[in-house]
């Protein structure tokens, strides 16, 4: 027993060491951006690994001189809105595809997968035409619909796989107790499939957070850009790019996502294992 | 859990509703307001905001009494945006300010109105001939030039030993004796695989990337000669990436750089004691001067805008053509104005860089503005990269990419 | 469970189907429509039907360049997917070992590449990592006394450089998916397996993988398609206008872009898109086989 404990300890130490190294390795490019962002001057390259003069000037510049906070607000609206619509529509669809056997089910699932493979950049022109006719250009609703539509297939597929693993017996007993299908989704599926739902929601959120092409094409005013779009607009070509400010902005852009990610992790444990229900 | 999700959805929906409505109301309000009080002229650009600010301030000050307000809006990837919004009166701009080389594309799309629809020829007669030529497509003047950009020879006075030579051969032998690639010390750096930066050689040798008849000239005898000649320089010019060459110069690791006026701000910030020489002052072995491309930043007018805002547009354009705007651009932003009269102003005449740009304007060639040029950047730069970076045989690569260019041009129709 | 609830499944999936029709299907139909017209620079508004003309021209583009692009794309997709699945599986396993107190922190840090907009990451790598003169990789290489490496100027090194970047950018997602899936594995299985004397490998092969497969299979399939149509990385790293690196690496998508989309000929490029789409459908028939075993 004692030997096993020692072995466990060594294993954990090796594991910790491995992960520390891995994190360092993964974070090198980001560390590079960080060093750039706290250095003065307008250099693209960081020559030394320590910065001669640490300055928060670049962060100040991006926060005060650019409409960063407005963009942050816009990004939040866009991503939360998209998440709401994309999840709202795809959870029920994923449930339907997972639980019901109806005609065309398998074909539709496969068709969705293939449709998803169509490069989105090619769709832009067509969506533009469509939205122009129904006056959805230059509005958040239009953009949210685009994003939600783009992520919907992903959502359906991703969650359907998980729903399949949830034993149906639980639902059946609920149905016997008189619960309607939508009650079953809300009261049973949602809590049980929490990890999958959270993962999918985060994926949708990050997609919107990082998307810039549609954002800069469908929104017209600098004040209505999202973070990624604004950043793209601000520093789009080599000749006008101020690297330190650009790096500062990109780091600031990723931080909300990381905080969110850190916070949701404790919810990612499935209700299935926690509840001890067996299939 | 259920309540939380429902609440979240509710909040989202309301937020979206409010914002959606807010947006449409706002845009309606500005439209209604503008009709009664002042007319707003929107100009899209993809350049430096501070330069546009200079123009905007100048024009708005002069036209305040007329009730005209000019608004510059930055649009990255302007060419693509114009394709989507170019005939969309509700969302598109009234005018755009951009480099002249996309002119042919826009004209063929049928979204631009000739300049003379709005102003008289005499209103722009003071502009440098080269800049006027740049805005002319199929014998019609579409663009009002504002300022132009071209390449310069910038050198670090503290590093350069002796006089800057006046022939490219002498320049090359200086480079040979003063470059140590292993330790990262360079005499001259250039974006040697970027078409714009090799153009001085190609034009100087009498070659061409594409001619007026829209025939690509990548395997033209003279173009080949120029590319071959540029290759020996390229070997001593670091890897030719914009960020790299720029930083090398700013850190004092390169004694000279071929670059545009957009580099000056960074060079000043790096406290380099720099000198400027016009590329026109270097002679090639064939006795021609280096002849860079010039990119003329010019204003074009959207067709639909002429229908409704003709008068306002005319006033704005006349104001932009005013030499005073040129002077302010030169002094505040280091842009070389298109208006010749601006150069008579003493403060402008004292500026070393502006004078060098003005000198280069005489030998510089405006970039081709035929629509076919837009598909030439890919093949020519692939050719340069293949020759300079992957060591492919020049002739072989040239005929390969010439073919690619020809196909690309065919594909347009 | 075999439920036959009449219209219920359709009512459940209707909202999403409407959305998908509008955002995904309509554009494809529109592209199909444009592909039969001569919409281009010279016929911007007055385009008309020209029949199969564009398709005939699109098919002439299937030359040796296109074929080698297909080969590159397949190698790219397979190599990337295999590496991604294997690496993310082991990292996720490691993260789920009991007693790893800092697991949450590691997980968050590993997600960082994902939290950055893609074009920023790519620029950062091009300029900060792979740059010949100043890139960190070359700094490191010269520091240990080796000559500078030009990562992006020739095809093979450029391919691997793009692959490393793709792994860097794509792994967080799969790690997260695997991690989520591992959380759902019932621990009692392991207990009984341990009692039966199954070793670590045996437990993973006979319990973990079968348990998580149905959950992660969709994610893997999705990622395969994303990898297949990956454009940004290769394009921005090696062939952006003004900063070509010399590599002539092409996947199907970048090849199509270079050969059809720069020309502003919407008719032709739509035809090319439809041809590629057909190719994707063909490609997915193979994947289809993979799904069958999983019984959707």
Q: What is the ipTM of this complex?
A: 0.84
Based on the fold, state whether residues A208 and A171 are members of the same structural domain. yes
Tell whether B229 and B309 lie within a shared domain: no
Q: Does B376 touch chain C (CB under 8 A)?
A: no
> Is the domain of A184 the same as that of A257?
yes
| Per-residue pLDDT band at C1 (split at 50, 70, 90) | very low
Query: Do A114 and A182 share a domain, yes or no?
Result: yes
Same domain, B204 and B317: no
> Residue C145 and residue C181: Cα distance in Å, rounded?
45
pLDDT of residue C269: 87
Same domain, A11 and A112: no
- Whether residue A51 is found in the same domain as residue A104: no
- CB under 8 A, 24+ apart: contacts of C29-34: C30/A125, C30/A126, C30/A129, C30/A130, C31/A122, C31/A123, C31/A126, C31/C270, C31/C273, C31/C274, C32/C270, C32/C274, C34/A126, C34/C266, C34/C267, C34/C270
Flag if C217 and A161 touch (Cβ within 8 Å).
yes
* Torsion angle in degrees (nearest 10) through CA of B391, B394, B395, B398: 100
Q: What's the domain range around C172? A: 63-292
**Nearest to residue A126, comparing CAs of C30, B85, C273, B87?**
C30
Judging contacts by C-beta atoms under 8 Å, the chain A residues touching residue B246 are 44
pLDDT at residue B278, as a whole number: 93
Average pLDDT rounded to a whole number, residues C138-164: 88
Nearest neighbour of C134 by CB, restricted to A45, A102, A119: A45
**Cβ(B159)–Cβ(B252) below 8 Å:** yes
Do C284 and A269 lie within an 8 Å CB cutoff? no
Crossing angle for the helix pair A227-234 and A243-264, nearest 10 degrees?
170
User: In chain C, positions 112-141, which contact chain A (CB-CB < 8 Å)?
Assistant: 112-121, 124-125, 127-129, 131, 134, 136
Q: Could you tell me the CATH number of the domain that includes residue A240?
A: 1.10.3720.10
Q: Residue B174: which pLDDT band, with cuts at 50, 70 and 90?
A: very high
Q: What is the mean pLDDT of residues B80-104?
A: 89
Give the SS3 label for residue B212. Answer: coil
Please check whether residue B315 lies inside any domain of the structure: yes
B407–chain C Cβ distance below 8 A for any pair:
yes
d(CA B86, CA B79): 10
Lowest mean pLDDT among A119-128, B247-256, C82-91: A119-128
* Residue contact C115–A206, C-beta within 8 A: yes
Decide which of A241 and B413 is more confident: B413
Q: Is B406 on the interface with C (CB under 8 A)?
A: no
A51/A132 same-domain check: no
Q: Is the Cβ of A191 closer than 8 Å to some Cβ of chain B? A: yes
Residue B33 lies in a domain: no
Structure tokens of C59?
């098919």
Residues A209 and A95 in one domain: yes
Same domain, A24 and A82: no
In a domain, B193, yes or no: yes
Predicted confidence (pLDDT) per residue in B242-266, tens digit: 888 888 999 899 999 999 988 888 8
**How does the average pLDDT of chain C come out, rounded?**
84
Record the pTM. 0.85
Q: Does residue B189 share a domain with residue B286?
A: yes
- Same structural domain, B192 and B253: yes
B350, part of any domain: yes
* Highest averaged pLDDT of the listed ranges A41-45, B145-149, C126-130: B145-149
Closest listed residue to residue C204, CA positions, set C120, C82, C97 = C97
Above 80 in pLDDT, residue A23?
yes
As a residue count, chain A comes to: 279
Average pLDDT over residues C85-107: 88
Banded pLDDT at B19 (limits 50, 70, 90) = very low
The parent domain of residue A112 ranges over 66-275
CATH of residue C256's domain is 1.10.3720.10
Cβ–Cβ gap A138/B91 under 8 Å: yes
As for how many domains chain B has, the answer is 2
pLDDT level of residue B17 (50, 70, 90 thresholds)? very low
pLDDT > 90: percent of chain C: 19
| Residue C42 pLDDT level (bands cut at 50, 70, 90) | confident
Question: Do A263 and A139 belong to one domain?
Answer: yes
CB contact at 8 A, A55 and A38:
yes
Q: What percent of chain C has pLDDT over 70?
A: 94
Of the candidates C164, C168, C133, the residue with the CA atom closest to the CA atom of residue C150: C133
For strands B39-45 and B254-259, give the pairing.
unpaired
* Full residue range of the structural domain in which residue B332 is found: 38-149+295-365
Q: B242 and B333 in one domain?
A: no
Over chain A, what is the mean pLDDT? 82
A45 touches C131 (CB < 8 A): yes
Q: What are phi and psi of B256, to 5 degrees?
A: -150, 160
Q: Which chain A residues are closer than 8 Å to B47 by Cβ?
A: 240
Angle between the A227-234 and A68-99 helix axes, to the nearest 10 degrees? 130
d(CA B373, CA B214): 8
Instruction: Among A31, A58, A85, give the residue marking a domain's end.
Output: A58
Asked if the structure places residue B11 within a domain, the reply is: no
Q: Do A44 and A112 fall within a single domain?
A: no
B16: in domain = no
Whether the predicted pLDDT of B285 surpasses 90:
yes
Domain annotation covers residue B25? no
The share of chain A scoring above pLDDT 90, in percent, equals: 20
Q: Is B107 helix (H, G, I), strand (E, B) or coil?
A: helix
Distance of alpha carbon B378 from alpha carbon C248, whole angstroms: 12
Based on the structure, what is the number of domains in chain A? 2
pLDDT value at position A78?
94
Residue B212: pLDDT band with limits 50, 70, 90: confident
- Distances C131 to B61, C128, C150 between C-alpha atoms, Å: 46, 6, 8
Report the neighbours of A using a cutoff of 3 or more CB pairs below 8 angstroms.
Answer: B, C
- What is d(CA A208, CA A81) in angstroms, rounded to the nearest whole number? 10
Residue C237: which pLDDT band, with cuts at 50, 70 and 90? confident
Question: For residue B400, what is the nearest residue in chain C, using CA coordinates?
Answer: C65
> Does residue A18 sit in the same domain as residue A117?
no
Do B225 and B91 lie in a common domain? Answer: no
| Spatial CB neighbours of B207, under 8 Å, sequence gap ≥ 6 | B217, B220, B221, B222, B223, B224, B225, B226
Indicate whether C246 pLDDT > 60.
yes
Position C185 pLDDT exceeds 70: yes
Q: Is the pLDDT of residue C102 over 50?
A: yes
Q: Report how many domains make up chain C.
A: 1
pLDDT tier at B365 (50, 70, 90 boundaries)?
Answer: very high
Choose, out of C11, C177, C180, the residue to mutate when testing the contact with A (most A CBs < 10 Å): C180
C172 in any annotated domain: yes
């Amino acid at each position: 027993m004692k030997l096993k404990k020692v072995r466990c300890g060594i294993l954990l130490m090796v594991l910790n060491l491995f992960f520390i190294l891995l994190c360092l390795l993964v974070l090198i490019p980001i560390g590079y951006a960080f060093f750039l962002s706290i250095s003065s001057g307008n250099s693209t390259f960081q020559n030394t690994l320590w910065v001669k003069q640490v300055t928060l000037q670049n962060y100040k510049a991006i926060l005060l001189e650019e409409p960063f906070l407005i963009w942050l607000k816009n990004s939040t609206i866009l991503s939360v809105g998209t998440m709401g619509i994309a999840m709202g529509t795809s959870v029920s669809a994923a449930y339907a595809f997972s639980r019901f056997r109806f005609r065309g089910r398998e074909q539709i699932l496969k068709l969705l997968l293939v449709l998803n493979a169509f490069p989105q950049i090619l769709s832009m022109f067509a969506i533009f035409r469509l939205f122009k006719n129904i006056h959805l250009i230059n509005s958040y609703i239009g953009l949210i619909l685009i994003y939600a539509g783009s992520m919907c297939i992903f959502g359906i597929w991703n969650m359907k796989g998980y729903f399949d693993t949830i034993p149906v017996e639980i639902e059946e007993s609920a149905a016997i107790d008189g619960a309607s299908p939508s009650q079953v989704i809300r009261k049973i599926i949602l809590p049980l499939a929490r990890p999958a739902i959270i993962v999918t929601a985060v994926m949708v959120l990050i997609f919107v957070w990082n998307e810039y092409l549609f954002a800069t094409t469908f929104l017209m005013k600098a004040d209505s850009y999202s973070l990624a779009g604004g950043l793209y607009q601000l520093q789009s070509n080599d000749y006008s790019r101020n690297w330190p400010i650009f790096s500062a902005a990109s780091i600031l852009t990723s931080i909300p996502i990381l905080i969110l990610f850190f916070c949701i992790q404790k919810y990612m444990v499935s209700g299935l294992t926690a509840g001890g229900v067996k299939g | 859990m259920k309540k939380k999700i429902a609440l979240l959805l509710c909040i989202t929906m309301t937020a979206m509703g409010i914002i959606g409505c807010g947006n449409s109301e706002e845009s309606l309000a500005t439209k209604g307001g503008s009709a009664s009080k002042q007319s707003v002229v929107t100009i899209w650009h993809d350049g430096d905001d501070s330069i546009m600010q200079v123009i905007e301030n100048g024009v708005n000050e002069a036209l305040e009494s007329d009730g005209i307000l000019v608004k510059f809006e930055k649009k990255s990837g302007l060419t693509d945006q114009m394709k989507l919004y170019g005939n969309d009166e509700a969302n598109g701009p009234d005018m755009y300010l951009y480099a002249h080389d996309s002119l042919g594309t826009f004209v063929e799309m049928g979204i631009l109105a000739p300049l003379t629809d709005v102003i008289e020829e005499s209103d722009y007669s003071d502009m440098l001939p080269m800049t006027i030529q740049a805005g002319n497509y199929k014998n019609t003047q579409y663009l009002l030039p504002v300022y132009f950009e071209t390449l310069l020879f910038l050198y670090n006075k503290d590093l350069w030993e002796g006089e800057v030579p006046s022939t490219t051969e002498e320049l090359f032998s200086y480079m040979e004796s003063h470059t140590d690639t292993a330790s990262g010390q360079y005499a001259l750096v250039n974006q040697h695989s970027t078409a714009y930066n090799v153009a001085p050689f190609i034009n100087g040798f009498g070659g061409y990337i594409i001619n007026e008849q829209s025939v690509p000239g990548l395997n033209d005898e003279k173009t080949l000669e120029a590319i071959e000649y540029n290759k020996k320089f390229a070997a001593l010019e670091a890897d030719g990436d914009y960020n790299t060459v720029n930083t090398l110069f700013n850190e004092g690791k390169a004694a000279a750089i071929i670059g545009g006026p957009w580099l000056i701000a960074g060079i000043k910030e790096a406290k380099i004691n720099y000198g400027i020489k016009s590329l026109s002052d270097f002679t090639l072995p064939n006795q021609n001067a280096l002849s860079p491309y010039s990119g003329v930043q010019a204003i074009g007018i959207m067709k639909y805008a002429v229908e409704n805002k003709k008068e306002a547009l005319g006033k704005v354009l006349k104001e932009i053509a005013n030499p005073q705007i040129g002077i302010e651009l030169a002094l505040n932003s280091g842009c070389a104005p298109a208006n010749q009269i601006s150069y008579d102003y003493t403060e402008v005449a004292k500026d070393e860089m502006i004078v060098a740009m003005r000198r280069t304007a005489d030998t510089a060639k405006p970039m081709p503005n035929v629509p076919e040029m837009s598909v030439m950047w890919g093949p020519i730069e692939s050719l340069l990269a293949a020759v300079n970076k992957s060591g492919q045989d020049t002739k072989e690569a040239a005929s390969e990419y010439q073919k690619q260019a020809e196909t690309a041009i065919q594909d347009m129709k | 469970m075999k439920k036959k609830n009449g219209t219920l499944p359709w009512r459940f999936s209707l909202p999403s189907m409407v959305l998908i029709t509008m955002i995904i299907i309509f554009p494809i139909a529109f592209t199909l429509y444009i592909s039969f017209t001569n919409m281009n620079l010279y016929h911007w508004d007055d385009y008309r039907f020209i029949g199969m003309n564009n398709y005939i021209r699109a098919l002439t583009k299937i030359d040796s360049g296109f074929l080698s692009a297909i080969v590159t794309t397949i190698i790219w997709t397979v190599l990337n997917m295999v590496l991604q699945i294997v690496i993310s599986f082991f990292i996720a396993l490691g993260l789920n070992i009991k007693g790893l107190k800092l697991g949450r922190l590691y997980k968050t840090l590993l997600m960082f590449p994902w939290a950055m907009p893609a074009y920023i990451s790519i620029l950062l790598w091009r300029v900060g990592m792979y740059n010949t003169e100043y890139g960190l990789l070359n700094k490191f290489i010269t520091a240990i006394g080796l000559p500078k490496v030009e990562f992006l100027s020739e095809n093979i090194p450029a391919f691997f450089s793009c692959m490393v970047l793709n792994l860097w950018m794509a792994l967080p997602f799969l790690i997260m998916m695997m991690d989520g899936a591992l959380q759902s594995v019932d621990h009692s299985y392991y207990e009984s397996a341990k009692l039966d004397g199954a070793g670590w490998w045996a437990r993973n092969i006979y319990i973990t993988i079968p348990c998580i497969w149905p959950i992660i299979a969709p994610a893997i399939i999705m990622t395969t398609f994303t990898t297949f149509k990956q454009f940004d990385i290769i394009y921005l790293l090696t062939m952006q206008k003004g900063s070509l690196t010399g590599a002539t690496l092409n996947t199907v998508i970048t090849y199509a872009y270079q050969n059809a989309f720069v020309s502003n000929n919407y008719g032709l490029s739509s035809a090319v898109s439809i041809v590629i789409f057909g190719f994707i459908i063909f490609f997915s028939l193979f994947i289809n086989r993979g799904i069958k075993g999983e019984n959707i």
